[in-house]
A and B are shown apart, each in its own frame.
Chain A
Amino acid sequence: MATTMRPDAAPSPAHHHHPTYHEVTRDIAATLGHPKRGYFILFGFVLLVLAAGIVALLYQIRRGLGVAGYSPPVMWAVYVTTFVFWVGIAHSGTLISAILYLFRSAWRTSVYRTAEAMTVFAVMTAGLFPLIHLGRLWYAYWLFPYPNQRGLWVNFKSPLVWDVFAVSTYFTVSTLFLIVGLIPDVAAIRDRATGWRKKLYTITALGWRGADYQWRHYVKAYLYLAALATPLVLSVHSVVSWDFAMSIVPGWHATIFAPYFVAGAIYSGVAMVITLMVPLRKVFRLERYITVVHFENLSKLLLLTGMIVAYSYLVEYFIAWYGGNPIERATFWNRAFGDYWWASWTMILCNGALPWLLWFRKIRRSIPALFVLSLFVNLGMWFERYVIIVVSLSHEYEPYAMGNYTPTWVDWTILAGSFAWFFMWFLLFAKNFPTVSITEVKEIIPWPRRREVRA
């Protein structure tokens, strides 16, 4: 928390007609409490889809990966695509909560909690896919270097092992970060809640009182967590990108992959934040705290990362031509004009072209427009991974062994199931914990004082 922030710090988004501290507590606490019928219907639907996904998975485990659409040489497909997609989604959360925190940007305060929760749940979703796509997932624990009677260890040269470490670290750290941030809020709610919720929050508040000796360590710890999370978030998607870049597959083996993936990740993540925030704001009546200004800032972030992504696309094609390697060239020719041209152009349209609309202030400030746009970006980013993975694999070195891939119902059901899994957690969270940080929103509201500050 901004210890160095003075009450009269830079004009905050919520500057004009501040709510009082009390209003903040009241309004946000109001978002919790007993949900309405609509919530349960939605939740039931989510559980249904999740169940379908689980059934599909069990079927796949029973019979073998053959029930998915894999057709060699395409040995990775929807599952790895979806893995990268969800890891990407996660990133914006950490960006907003940690990086923007270090940059002291005030506007993050009312959106970071949602983003952070999204991060944790997205990583929880992503983490499933490396397992789902294994031929023998019951041996997945072999991927960890645990002492065993065979005396065998894992291959630390394999990017997949890097992944294991990166993703599990990322999950741990972002979860801690979320929990730490929650403590003062939970305490605030505790002091207002009644009944079983009171008990729940009393426990989860870990005895927080906001005493000076608590703030003193808390503030530092939070700062250092943010400091650790920042390089981590950059590293995680770099490592994920190395799953591909470390190989010799034409279309994968590129040095630009790390920055390209990180930008893409944040891009998709911001889009997902918008997708979540728009309905949330309506349902929870948070218009006062999540204002057009926040969306405009988010969309600027979207525009920036979108431009980086578009640039990366250009560079990929340029290097393929400029590098002069005929196989690389063939691969990219195939991407643009081969059997999968539709996927490639979907991706280029959604990620490369549409964000240009954000140059217009009108669109940046139109919440419906942003919502629609964010959906397109999500779609586009999923296809980006699909193109990178499937299309590259379908057109490698050995012409005789080239071939195409089409998913089956199992792929689709498990993909849908992953969304259900994500939203299940998110819905549970939204109704039981503040989706807007009480404490941090208060922080940007100046304290009432009796005398003027002496400069």
Chain B
Amino acid sequence: MTDGMNRRKFLKVLGVTGGGAAAMAGCSTERVEKLIPYLVPLEDQIPGLATYYASTCRECPAGCGVYLRVREGRAVKVEGNPDHPVNRGRVCARGQASLQGTYNPDRIRGPMERTLTGTFAPITWEAAITRVVERLKGAPAGSLWFLTGNEGGSFDRLVRDWLSALGSSHAVTFEPFAYEALWQANRAVFGIDAIPSYRLGDAECLVSFGADFLETWLSPVEHARGFAAAHGYHDGRMGRYVHVEPRLSMTAMSADEWIAPVPGTEGVLALAMAHVIVNHHLERAPADAVQLRGLLQPYEPDQVAGRTGVPAETVHRLAAEFAARPSLALPGGAGTQHRDAQLTAVAVNLLNYVAGNVGRTVVFEPAASGGNGSYVGVADLVAAARRNEIGVLFVHGANPAYATPPGLGVAEALAAVPFKVSFARCLDETAALADLVLPDHDPYEQWNDYTPRAGVRSLLQPVMQPVFDTRQTGDVLIDVARRMGGALGARFAGAAPEGGYKAYLQERWGELQRELADRRPFDEFWREAVQRGGVWRDLPASPVRVARDIALNPPTPTGGGRFTAIVYPSPTLYDGRGANRPWLQELPDPVTKVTWGTCVELHPDTASGLGLAEGDVVEVRSAAGAIEAPVYLYPGLRPDVVAVPLGQGHTAYGRYADGRGANALRLLGPEPAAFGGVVRYADVTVAATGAHVVLAKTEGKNRQLDRGIAQAVTVAGIAAGALEHKFHLPEAAPIPEREERILDEVARKQREATKYGPYAFETSRWGLAIDLAKCTGCSACVVACSAENNVPFVGEAQVARRREMQWIRIERYFEGGGPGEPLEARFVPMLCQQCGNAPCEPVCPVFATYHTPDGLNGQAYNRCVGTRYCSNNCPYKVRYFNWYDQSTPDDPRTFAWEEPLHWLLNPDVTVRSKGVMEKCTFCVQRIRGAQNEARVAGRDLADGDVVTACQQTCPADAIVFGNLTDAGSRVARLAADPRRYRVLESLNTQPAVTYLMKVRNLGGEA
């Protein structure tokens, strides 16, 4: 397979598909197209059919397994690997956008060196490697440093081998979110150097102390699966979830109860709960829990209520619930980013322990290798550089110049390093400071492996020819080693001459095979691993006991500024590495719905107090620095808190990221906290600058005006029969029974009259069911849809005019929040409802939109003349118009597929041109594809043969697609669920999309 891969040349590939080229042609058919054959046929490629290769997503440390859909030798879409234990076939928004990293037009196209004028100039690989070798020969062993991201696999090992052979041990790992507090707390409380796996699926009562476990924390996709299993509504039962954090994060929006304590006091609250449990509810507690009574004594709820701002009875109630059922408390996110992060982590560990969760829902496995490193490491590196102890610095997979607080002075420090080599794929802030840039392959172009957690070894394989003249860093290092000769050369002269990194990797996997006591020949083991995407097994939980000597250093009082600023990782851009993916830039933040920029979240009352309106640009100033950004009015905050997402404010990193928004890290002090990480809290002041901008957000009103768009019930409500009388728009008056009959008769006659020609035969009616009790608003479906359907991004200015084009959007509505009533947020994925009586259809003068025999609301793009009447008449507003030509390079201002981004285009879907309306059609290309297969095989479609892109990627499995006329299908059963409702049902549009009401568990019925 790989050989076929290597022989492949893109010229041929492009020629055969014509996909890219033809796509650019828009709707013109007049151009002469060339057909360019392969020189040698590819045994695993059938032109016109997709091939799938297993690999691993490296967008964040979670390490989900993915399949790459490859057409004619180019990867066109990321899909989840169903076998992979981490994500079980689901992928998050960032994973879906990962191919925009591969095809990013700003990728470094070949090796570069810094010239005397300070600019970069291209250089050959040969010359580049020679330069490295010279420098290494000249540098004293000790002065050699290697900074990597969280590589978590054989590459880590390679780097360490490589360094040790050169006599250096300065390998530093830097991951912006390294969870230092958790590592420390686990050492302190359980004496184990690991992060446990949190079994959300088994937790009937979940309390998150700030952990954004559905966004970025540890392994969001895996968590979402577990959360959906435990917290989804299954015949009368569901888990309960309480979120403790000063800010209502996206994750918190799925909570049944949101408690906003004084910033930094989550730990105290957790200890208070533990206190109650050890004193009153010891049912499930392990025997040695009582010994903690003394330790917890000072945390009696009434004592701490003042500090946390949470009334004692709440603590008692929570503790009772927590102790009564299999439960789980999560330390993380904002809860473990303030000064007292370690206290929080320790407290949560204790809470889990006394509730008897350790070993049940908190499972420690034998420590996985590597870990995330620590901020302290970088601080040391900077110090060393300042002391001129670093002669040569290699940087791979880390971008400290951007991702650390500017106060740390990474840039200045690096200036003191005589020779810096970067292996960056994009010219990020750190690479921009390097002397030599040796661009690495994209993860999807290289051989590698990754260990998300103990027991899981996940493989990466090149799914296509490299897009640019890049080389895999592993190969480069080995090449350098060979040229260095000596100890280093000897170390890598090894097993496979010329084998390069792949051979090294296979050596490691040989060891793994022995470790697994697998007797098969290695090739067999290897091939299977490559096909499956890795090997994994369940490890026995290692039993842990609480340590005897635990010190609880008292929380530091918050002081200084008027507000506490919380700097949180963006659910879309993570720590900023997603900022050069246009899909992620245009993906509305699940909470604020703002795109393409930074906004400062302020509580409406706070804002009015400061005389600020939405869009007013404010200066947020802390002791460390200041940023300027527009205000977003967000009721989901404590009035004394402002929140700013990370991820923007790049000063390099390509056209989509550079100079956009503000970098919230400027607010943070550089000095590592006691727990070894960055404190992402700051005492700040907020002042208006007088400037005002129109926020590029996709949201109109954030209240649903009692229109029943997003409906919800409570478990108690269902028990009390709330579902019997369902919500409807209040009619002017109930229709008299006689008229009702007449209306039905008319309707029947009409249906009869539509049975004609191709409509006269029995066909399916495609439908979708969306369970709002599971939907977490994570927006993975949005990017998946864009990727599958060639949906272009339109850019900030257009979004500001509400011209975004994502075919599925996650509407977020607020309920309550008035004085004394809790604020509640609801998500509704809104896509074309494929109405049975579609209002959009009859108004189209040219039949461009119409009803297909199988019940879709079809859209023939090439027939559309662009009257836009259909959109006016669509009550759901799910039709999107091509205001400009996003599909042609002729107009660079609006071109959305800058080469090589256009290699992402799905050849099965028309690329829409200027002036036509487009919309969701339930991935009709997948339906037709499946129907063709079925016809050719002479069989009927079975339930599950067709899977829409949104359904396929949904981490919570909230979306189900299928045939409504097939009573046995999953979707048909859900469409009959008592919680079913259809949006704006009173309009008699007969939507094919059924929503299942969100269910909230207000507790008390444990």
Contacts and interface: CB of A to CB of B under 8 A. Distances in A.
A–B contact via C-beta, under 8 angstroms? yes
Interface stretch (A278-286, A349-357, A397-405): A397-405
A249 B830 CA distance: 19
B701 interface: yes
B843 A327 contact: no
B872 interface: yes
A44 interface: no
Interface stretch (B216-224, B768-776, B912-920): B912-920
B589 interface: no
A135 B864 contact: yes
Interface string A53-77: 0000000000111100011110110
Nearest to B868: A75
A372 interface: no
B729 interface: yes
Nearest to B891: A63
Contacts of B702: 399-400
A164 interface: yes
Contacts of B867: 133-135, 160
A251 to B, nearest CB: 11
B700 A402 contact: yes
Given A71-B803, A72-B877, A66 B699 contact: no
A366 interface: no
A169 interface: no
A158 B883 contact: no
B237 interface: no
Interface stretch (B509-517, B570-578, B662-670, B704-712): B704-712
A402 B702 CA distance: 10
B877 A136 contact: no
A75 B842 contact: no
A330 interface: yes
B295 interface: no
A140 B844 CA distance: 13
Interface string B832-858: 000000010011111100000000000
Contact of B846 (A70, A133, A154, A326): A154
B917 to A, nearest CB: 7
A64 B845 contact: no
A243 B842 CA distance: 12
A387 to B, nearest CB: 15
A403 B802 contact: yes
Interface centre among B809, B845, B875 (most CB of A within 10 A): B845
Nearest to A62: B891
A136 B701 CA distance: 31
Contacts of A158: 842-845, 869
A152 B847 contact: yes
A390 to B, nearest CB: 11
Summarize A's interface: helix, strand, loop or mixed.
loop
Given A63-B891, A143-B865, A327-B729, A155 B842 contact: yes
A163 to B, nearest CB: 8
A135 B732 contact: no
B885 interface: yes
Contact of B872 (A63, A76, A154, A403): A76
B866 A143 contact: no
A268 to B, nearest CB: 23
Interface in B862-904: 863-869, 871-873, 875-877, 880-885, 891, 894
Contact of A399 (B700, B864, B987): B700
A75 B872 contact: yes
B383 interface: no
Chain A interface residue bracket vs B: 35 or more
Contacts of B984: 397
A157 interface: yes
A143 B867 CA distance: 11
Interface in B265-321: none
B521 interface: no
A105 interface: no
Contact of B869 (A63, A64, A160): A160
A267 B595 CA distance: 47
A70 B883 contact: yes
Contact of A76 (B811, B868, B885): B868
Nearest to B811: A400
A330 B869 CA distance: 22
A135 B916 contact: yes
Contacts of A411: none
Contact of A326 (B729, B839, B914): B729
A398 B877 contact: yes
B10 interface: no
Interface in A137-169: 137, 139-140, 142-143, 152-155, 157-161, 164
A122 B732 CA distance: 41
Given A72-B803, A135-B916, A400-B701, A66 B883 contact: yes
Counting chain A CB atoms within 10 Å of each CB, the highest count among B704, B705, B842, B867 belongs to: B867
Report the interface size class on chain B: 35 or more
Given A140-B865, A398-B877, A323 B732 contact: yes
Nearest to A402: B700
B868 A64 contact: no
Given A155-B842, A326-B729, A398-B709, A134 B872 contact: no
A166 B877 CA distance: 29
A381 B123 CA distance: 69
B733 interface: yes
Contacts of B17: none
B914 A136 contact: yes
A397 B730 contact: no
A246 interface: yes
A154 to B, nearest CB: 6
Contacts of A164: 845
Contacts of B733: 324
B850 to A, nearest CB: 8
Contacts of A399: 700-705, 707, 709, 813
A373 B798 CA distance: 41
A66 B894 contact: yes
A270 interface: no
B801 interface: yes
A427 to B, nearest CB: 33
Nearest to B893: A63
A71 B700 contact: no
A135 B917 contact: yes
A314 interface: no
A154 B850 CA distance: 12
Given A135-B868, A136-B866, A324-B732, A403 B844 contact: no
Contact of B866 (A65, A154, A398, A400): A65
B847 A330 contact: no
A424 B914 CA distance: 32
A185 interface: no
B711 to A, nearest CB: 14
B458 to A, nearest CB: 38
Contacts of B863: 142, 152
A396 interface: yes
A247 interface: yes
A325 interface: yes
B802 A248 contact: no
Interface string A301-336: 000000000000000000000011111001000000
B462 to A, nearest CB: 39
Nearest to B866: A135
B883 A136 contact: no
Centre residue among B885, B891, B915, B987 by max chain A CB count within 10 A? B915
Given A324-B733, A398-B875, A399-B709, A135 B846 contact: no
A66 B803 CA distance: 9
Interface in B532-550: none
B883 A142 contact: no
Given A136-B916, A160-B845, A401-B877, A72 B871 contact: yes
Closest 4 CB pairs of A and B: A135-B866, A135-B915, A66-B883, A401-B877
12 contacts: A75-B871, A135-B864, A135-B916, A154-B847, A155-B845, A159-B843, A247-B872, A324-B731, A326-B705, A397-B876, A399-B707, A400-B809
